[in-house]
Structure 1
Amino acid sequence: MRGFSESHVNDVTSDKPAQSFSAAMASLSTTSEEFVPALADLILRSARQHRASDVHLIPTEDRLLMRWRIDGVLQHVAAFDGSLTQRLVARLKVMSGLLTYRTDVPQEGRIAAEFMTKLTSPSPAEAHHSRPAPTRRAKNKLVDSAEAAAVPVGITGEVRVTTFPTLFGEKAAIRLFADVGRFQRLNDLELPADVEAELIELLHRTSGVILLTGPSGSGKTTTAYACLREIVRRFGDERSVMTLEDPIEMVVSGVTQSQIRPHVGFDLPTGLKSMMRQDPDVIMIGE
């Protein structure tokens, strides 16, 4: 494998995520047949540890750039040799059940359960080189430091992979959703007390519309699911709660969830029209 020390990972920035990733990657064997699978696993675990919401793998003429979106800000983490582009993206496709031989069309999938199980345990490199970043609450001394240290290093939330054909190869975007056990309720979101109280009051009303808007990765989906759980907690079986989503990103107990499938004629207008005949009390539309 040519020039790994100088070109497979280079131009690493001086920020903490880049340093941590570079240190963890130093333990990978570049001559091993398992190098690319190990690299893919490391990228996913490291990004989760640093609370990245998205990972961008961007091919250029001679390199593959990796950027992470953390707290809404996209930042450079590493640059790999361009020879890795096709193999690394192909590995992510295998993990997501996508067609590796179709590089000319956009594709979207989710990391399969068999790979997620493997990712729930940190690699030796991460265990040695990485420490979880403190939460905002920990920084404000609102929680014990032990709670801040309990951030999972492995992958326990859902991971979505999308690929897109570009001039220099396929660009891959990886969305890391919140862990299933975190941000379940509204009070887990650390909203200002007055905002949380007002939102709960709105959710308890019998009519009206609530719009959740914001840039990608700002927490719209997480907030929407927390709102659904609040309605189920407060009203239980007294309200029929239904969703129409694209895609379904989390399963919420007590909610009837449906995913649109435009390729078979089940699009948003059709689904919403039919859903209104199901006697719902609450409808959540998620794109």
Structure 2
Amino acid sequence: MNATRATSHTTGDAPAYVQALLSRALDAGLTDLYLIPDRDGLDLSGRQASGARVALDRLPAPFGAQCVARLKVLAGMLTYRTSTAQDGAIHGIDGHPHAELRLATLPTCAGERVTVRIVQGQARPPGLDDLGFAAPAVAAIRRLLQHPAGIVILTGPTGSGKTTTIYAMVRDLLARGHSPATLITIEDPVESALEGISQVELRRDDPAWGYAEALRAVLRHDVKTLVIGELRDREVTRVALDAALTGHRVITTYHAGDIGGVYARLLHQGFEPFQVAAAVTGVVAQRLLRGRADGAPVPVAAVLEADDAWREVVMAAPGLGDLRRRAGAVPGADLEAAARDLAAAGRIDAKEAILL
């Protein structure tokens, strides 16, 4: 990776340097790039699929700032806005037309820090059957999508593949005859183009156009399936739950850790147990674990399909511990059990399942 110095910062050509850096990161199969500033310059490092960090380069502060600005241009960010966080995406670069690079900036005392999440694109975008989940989990997700109304929530750590799963769910709906005209997404930012779909992109530089505002606007249209990038706050969650209860299929993500945590957080936010029980069709929890053979990520998923028995559990408004225990007893909804199955099959080390 140090060969990125071939288009060196000594030339002062930031666009060429950034192009070489991104190309070589993709060629090397890195999953993330980190540009971290300090008082004297900018440290560049990457993360391999195994999780190992690798040092890439060290740039002088002025040239480092030029490279950060170049990345922001490519990702559609505002280069002059350096005191607030921004998100953006780069859709393909020379030699890697299908790659998706998701950028996030963070203002620090030493300058802007940049994280680039790298998604190695495919000529054919992945469907549900291509995600690597166990067959019962894929079948359960498809059953959730058969419900014409209700909210399907995906949860898991940052970088666990939730957005990739959502896009695969959308493609599955389209393949099964869903009209593109009645499917709308709200994303921050749009991370992958879906042909024929109305994709609404939010920007942090426009406080008057957030999730809540976009969601209300979208619901004035003839939408049957609504994809919401994230239930970011209580107001967005309230509108999403109402949409699910009024005949819309909603697919979204929610930071809660696990299946029990999703329900516990919804209840903690003050939503009525009957509202949560009636609106939530199911929850998908997913992780990426380190593979035993080569350290490559191995996906694992657990799916809870809400039935009447589970809705009765939610209606009683139990605490987090009880929710986790009761969810783990539902067939297919125990993420640790799914990870243990992977360990038994030799795909991951047993300690990976314990670390969940």
TM-score, scaled to structure 1: 0.66
1:91 and 1:270 map into 2 onto residues whose CA distance is 31
Are the structure 2 counterparts of residues 25 and 108 from structure 1 closer, same or farther at C-alpha, using a change threshold of 3 Å?
Answer: same
Aligned residues: CA RMSD: 3.0
Read off the aligned partner of 1:156 and give its amino acid letter.
Answer: H
Of residues 135, 153, 173, the one that matches 1:231 is 173
Query: What corresponds to 1:91 in structure 2?
Result: 70
In proportion to residue count, which structure has more strand? Answer: 2
**SS of structure 2 residue aligned to 1:184:** coil
Q: Does 1:47 align with 2:21?
A: no
Query: What corresponds to 2:134 in structure 1?
Result: 192
Read off the aligned partner of 1:196 and give its amino acid letter.
Answer: V
Read off the aligned partner of 1:276 and give its amino acid letter.
Answer: L
CA drift of 1:242 comes to: 2.3
Q: Does 1:270 align with 2:244?
A: no
Identify unmatched segments of 5+ residues in structure 2: 231-356
CA drift of 1:285 comes to: 1.0
Of residues 147, 151, 167, the one that matches 1:205 is 147
Query: What corresponds to 1:9 in structure 2?
Result: none
Read off the aligned partner of 1:282 and give its amino acid letter.
Answer: T
2:216 and 2:208 map into 1 onto residues whose CA distance is 13
**SS of structure 1 residue aligned to 2:193:** coil
Read off the aligned partner of 1:104 and give its amino acid letter.
Answer: S
1:238 and 1:92 map into 2 onto residues whose CA distance is 32
TM-score, scaled to structure 2: 0.55
**SS of structure 2 residue aligned to 1:157:** strand
Read off the aligned partner of 2:210 and give its amino acid letter.
Answer: D
Paired residues for 1:51-66 under 5 Å:
51-66=29-44
Q: Does 1:241 align with 2:215?
A: no
CA drift of 1:271 comes to: 2.9
1:266 and 1:101 map into 2 onto residues whose CA distance is 20
Identify unmatched segments of 5+ residues in structure 1: 1-20, 122-153
CA drift of 1:231 comes to: 0.7
Query: What corresponds to 1:282 in structure 2?
Result: 225
Query: What corresponds to 2:45 in structure 1?
Result: 67
1:198 and 1:89 map into 2 onto residues whose CA distance is 42
**SS of structure 1 residue aligned to 2:142:** helix
What CA deviation, in whole Å up to 9, does each residue of 1:64-87 have, x standing for no partner?
Answer: 222324448362322404444223
CA drift of 1:217 comes to: 1.6
CA drift of 1:59 comes to: 1.1
1:260–1:268 Cα contact (<8 Å) kept: yes
Are the structure 2 counterparts of residues 27 and 268 from structure 1 closer, same or farther at C-alpha, using a change threshold of 3 Å?
Answer: closer
What CA deviation, in whole Å up to 9, does each residue of 1:102-151 have, x standing for no partner?
Answer: 5434344444x8xx5xx323xxxxxxxxxxxxxxxxxxxxxxxxxxxxxx
Query: What corresponds to 1:165 in structure 2?
Result: 107
What CA deviation, in whole Å up to 9, does each residue of 1:152-210 have, x standing for no partner?
Answer: xx353233433332222221222334426354311121211111122112212223321
Query: What corresponds to 2:56 in structure 1?
Result: 78
2:89–2:189 Cα contact (<8 Å) kept: no
Are the structure 2 counterparts of residues 284 and 72 from structure 1 closer, same or farther at C-alpha, using a change threshold of 3 Å?
Answer: farther
Read off the aligned partner of 1:233 and give its amino acid letter.
Answer: A
1:282 and 1:257 map into 2 onto residues whose CA distance is 12
1:98 and 1:271 map into 2 onto residues whose CA distance is 20
Are the structure 2 counterparts of residues 283 and 178 from structure 1 closer, same or farther at C-alpha, using a change threshold of 3 Å?
Answer: farther
What CA deviation, in whole Å up to 9, does each residue of 1:194-247 have, x standing for no partner?
Answer: 111221122122233211111122111111011011011112339932222222
Read off the aligned partner of 1:215 and give its amino acid letter.
Answer: P
CA drift of 1:26 comes to: 5.3
Read off the aligned partner of 2:197 and give its amino acid letter.
Answer: V
Are the structure 2 counterparts of residues 97 and 197 from structure 1 closer, same or farther at C-alpha, using a change threshold of 3 Å?
Answer: closer
CA drift of 1:98 comes to: 4.3
Q: Which moved more, 1:181-190 or 1:269-278?
A: 269-278
Q: Which moved more, 1:96-105 or 1:60-69?
A: 96-105
Read off the aligned partner of 2:225 and give its amino acid letter.
Answer: V
How many aligned residue pairs are there?
228
Identity, % of aligned pairs? Answer: 33
